[in-house]
Amino acid sequence: MANKSLQLAKAEKNDEFYTQYHDIEKEITAYIEYNPDVFRGKTILLPCDDPEWSNFTKFFAQNFERFGLKKLISTSYAADSKNYKSDYQPTLFETSDSQYNKNKTSKNGKIFTLAKDKTGDGKINVDDLEWYYLEGDGDFRSDEIKKLRDEADIIITNPPFSLFREFLMWIIEANKQFVIIGNLSIITTKEVFPLIKNNKMWLGKGFHAGNAYFSTPFAKEYAEGVYNPKTGLVKFRNCCWFTNLDHGRRHQFLPLMTMADNLKYSKHKEIKGKKSYDHYDNYKAIEVPFTDAIPSDYDGVMGVPVSFLNKHNPDQFEILGSDYNVKEGLLPKIVNPKWKDKIDRGYLNNKRLYTRILIKHKKKTI
């Protein structure tokens, strides 16, 4: 049901989801622990945001000095330009400011910046944020926001679900570092997978068990089990953080058993007690339906579920490609020459499987 809700959000472009503070803190802490200076002297841009409500803005403003930031920029999208129409009311923070403009409040985006001690209390924090109206509506594709993108070193946000691929390409075009939220299923698309395969993007620390909880102005539109009336949050499965910032979990070696031990002791009924691992009908590779069932001593090609990327260590495994790459003829050596039917996915006993990523163990070098 949660995945259907996410698809609904994409279809209707109801993209206004706010990330919880503790999820942001947990994710960003992973990069700080790996490299304490990862943000030092950097300008961070938080686009597709709403600075007055966003926990991204609050988090980085409160940690401005601890992280050693040079500048923080956060931009919002105008209410009148959103697909989801609500009874918009400006906040007291905005209306009480001398620059408040009732004609611009719903038609123009806003920009918040933090770079200096405005209050004179000897520290730089959330109280020193300065704001003004943007010239346009704050669309990340506008020249106004592109200019801010080009100024920034790192882009961090929860972009619109319906525009994730376009937003990612917008970042890649400018060759920026980033930490953004998306759905795991986006990995297999032709725009995204090459970045994963070529080690130009990877998964971050991630949400607990892949479950993300967001606040949203249209939470009640979601079904029971997705929307929790007690918390006011909606639950999406298989959400993850995408990044090109390094973190320690990415270099943890996955402990594995040998093929023989997996066949004898695996906790998975699909593996335990069998004489051997299944071979695909159409690929010259073995099917490994669970990441923890990858045999440590198998040198050939293995097909693993997309969720493998949560544990992928580029020092331990080589990603050869995906079903899409086979279909496009980019991995001819993987195809079983005896197979005369479709190669769009891996097949077992003529049954089409879910998307698989094709991997090999990395060769050890002395």
Q: Which of 10-14, 125-129, 198-202, 271-275 has the lowest mean pLDDT?
A: 10-14
For the chain, what is the domain count? 2
Position 2 confidence tier, pLDDT thresholds 50, 70, 90: very low
DSSP state, residue 47: E
289 and 207 in a common domain: no
163 and 58 in a common domain: yes
217 and 356 in a common domain: no
**For residue 132, is it within any domain?**
yes
**At residue 221, does pLDDT exceed 80?**
no
Q: In this structure, are strands 130-133 and 110-114 parallel, antiparallel, or unpaired?
A: antiparallel
pLDDT of 51 reads 75
7 compared with 270, residue with greater pLDDT: 270
Strand order in 71-76's β-sheet? 130-133, 110-114, 71-76, 43-49, 154-157, 177-183, 239-243, 202-203
Q: Which of 45-54, 175-184, 187-196 has the lowest mean pLDDT?
A: 45-54
pLDDT of 103 reads 87
328 and 269 in a common domain: yes
Alpha-carbon distance of 313 to 5, in angstroms, equals 31
DSSP state, residue 271: T
155 and 236 in a common domain: yes
- As a whole number, mean pLDDT of residues 198-213 equals 91
Q: Which two tokens stand for residue 52?
A: 């007055």
184 compared with 88, residue with greater pLDDT: 184
139 and 48 in a common domain: yes
Given 220, 235, 251, the domain boundary residue is 251
Given 214, 230, 251, the domain boundary residue is 251
22 and 166 in a common domain: yes
pLDDT of 1 reads 40
Domain of 309? 259-361
Position 170 confidence tier, pLDDT thresholds 50, 70, 90: very high
Q: Which of 133-147, 211-225, 267-281 has the lowest mean pLDDT?
A: 211-225
**For residue 170, is it within any domain?**
yes
**For residue 35, is it within any domain?**
yes
114 and 228 in a common domain: yes
Amino acid at 294: I
209 and 62 in a common domain: yes
pLDDT of 232 reads 82
Position 11 confidence tier, pLDDT thresholds 50, 70, 90: very low
Q: Which of 19-23, 26-30, 229-233, 332-336 has the lowest mean pLDDT?
A: 229-233
Q: Is 254 exposed, middle or buried (0-12, 13-18, 19+ CB in 10 A)?
A: middle
For 305-343, write each residue's pLDDT tens digit.
Answer: 999 999 999 999 999 999 999 999 999 999 999 999 989
**For residue 134, is it within any domain?**
yes
Specify the 3-state DSSP secondary structure of 149. Answer: helix
Can you list the alpha helix ranges (DSSP code H) found in 294-345?
Answer: 323-327
pLDDT of 219 reads 65
Alpha-carbon distance of 213 to 216, in angstroms, equals 10
233 compared with 88, residue with greater pLDDT: 233
What contacts 124, CB < 8 A, 6 or more positions away?
64, 65, 114, 115, 116, 117
pLDDT of 84 reads 62
**For residue 9, is it within any domain?**
yes
Indicate the pTM of the whole model: 0.90
**For residue 68, is it within any domain?**
yes
**At residue 182, does pLDDT exceed 80?**
yes
**For residue 211, is it within any domain?**
yes
pLDDT of 100 reads 86
Given 188, 219, 251, the domain boundary residue is 251
**At residue 353, does pLDDT exceed 90?**
yes
**For residue 366, is it within any domain?**
no
What contacts 216, CB < 8 A, 6 or more positions away?
14, 16, 17, 18, 234
323 and 189 in a common domain: no
298 and 175 in a common domain: no
96 and 19 in a common domain: yes
Q: Which of 7-21, 86-100, 183-197, 239-253 has the lowest mean pLDDT?
A: 7-21
Most confident of 25-29, 190-194, 324-328: 25-29
For 43-102, write each residue's pLDDT tens digit.
Answer: 999 998 777 778 999 999 999 999 999 999 999 988 777 766 566 777 778 888 889 888
pLDDT of 223 reads 60
**At residue 16, does pLDDT exceed 50?**
yes
Helix axis angle, 55-62 relative to 21-34, nearest 10°?
40
Q: Which of 12-16, 20-24, 81-85, 302-306 has the lowest mean pLDDT?
A: 12-16
Position 10 confidence tier, pLDDT thresholds 50, 70, 90: very low
